[in-house]
Amino acid sequence: MSSEAKMPDNISERRCGDCSLCCKLAQVDELDKPSGVWCRHCAPGRGGCTIYETRPDVCRNWFCNWIVDSRLGPEWYPLTSKMILFFENSGSRLCVRVEPSHADVWRREPYYSQLKQWSRAAVEARQQIIVYIKKRVIVILPDKDVDFGDVELGEQIWVGAQDTPTGRTWNAARIPADVPPEEVHAWLTSRQAR
């Protein structure tokens, strides 16, 4: 879980209610909690966080997009959709964390067409739409979805476009953790030449 999703000034009137899905789907390093498992401090359906008053700042300062963005319809309420949405990487990546027992829900309507619509705007703005199912990473592109399987800590995801005679296509690449930042461009170029 990243503390980047701070409560904005124009917050909607929405509240979590009975939802505590973020306490399962988000990774919280401060609590040694991996993604996809319930936090040991959460009592889902029985009041939520048992350490609410003393919870870490990363939890205290984090809000899913359903709380933050009133433009998201009721279908995106996490208990309904079985997903939490939030931005990371300074707003350049929309993360869609999916409840593992509902791993294909993001492919259903009305969600899939909305994700595809967002991906068209995202790629033009050099942003990413990423679906996470535990450690599994799927990049949503306008013309395809790229499933990278399990992605390990330190690996990066790159998204780019290529103009072809038949129109623009988009690609995604998984950059290994051992590729230094100054060598990423050369690494990508060598892979595209293949």
Q: What is the pLDDT of residues 61-98, one digit of tens each?
A: 888 999 999 999 999 999 999 999 999 888 889 999 99
Say what the pTM is: 0.87
Q: What is the pLDDT of residues 124-165, one digit of tens each?
A: 888 999 999 999 999 999 999 999 999 988 899 999 888 889
Containing structural domain, residue 125: 22-192
The number of folded domains in the chain is: 1
Three-state DSSP string of the chain:
CCCCCCCCCCCCCCCCCCCCCHHHHCCEHHHCECCCCCCCCEECCCCEECCHHHCCHHHHCCCCHHHHCCCCCHHHCHHHHCEEEEEECCCCEEEEEECHHHCCHHHCCCHHHHHHHHHHHHHHCCCEEEEEECCEEEEECCCCEEEEEECCCCCEEEEEEEEECCEEEEEEEEECCCCCHHHHHHHHHHHHCC
pLDDT of the residue at 109: 97
100 in a structural domain: yes
16 in a structural domain: no
8 in a structural domain: no
13 in a structural domain: no
28 in a structural domain: yes
137 in a structural domain: yes
44 in a structural domain: yes
Three-state DSSP string of 105-116:
HHHCCCHHHHHH
106 in a structural domain: yes
pLDDT of the residue at 11: 57
Q: What is the mean pLDDT of residues 27-44?
A: 90
